[in-house]
Amino acid sequence: MDRNVGPEDRVVRIVVALGLCLIVYFADLPRTADIVIAVVAAYLLLSGLFVRCVIYKMIDVDTSIQEQPYSSTDERSGL
């Protein structure tokens, strides 16, 4: 599978995953909620680290391709 997670998206996924891990560790939640939050955190962390997202692949989203400003030598020379 090709990379489909961009750098900004990657950082957000990892930070949110770590935040969810802290919630699971410190909050007094029911066991079911702990498991659900831990699974979401694990998915976000792994998709952020491996730069691949299965959900993005299914809905055909690619945030790794960023539009670069185009500059040619003709524009700089005034032609």
For residue 12, pLDDT beyond 90: yes
The verdict on residue 1 lying in a domain is no
- How large is the greatest C-alpha to C-alpha distance in the chain, in angstroms? 68
**How remote is the C-alpha of 75 from its chain's centroid?**
35
Range of the domain at 55: 7-61
22 within some domain: yes
Residue 77: Cβ within 10 Å count: 7
Position 14 in a domain: yes
Query: Per-residue pLDDT tens for 16-58?
Result: 999 999 999 999 999 999 999 999 999 999 999 999 999 999 9
pLDDT of 78 over the 80 cut: no
Domain total of the chain: 1
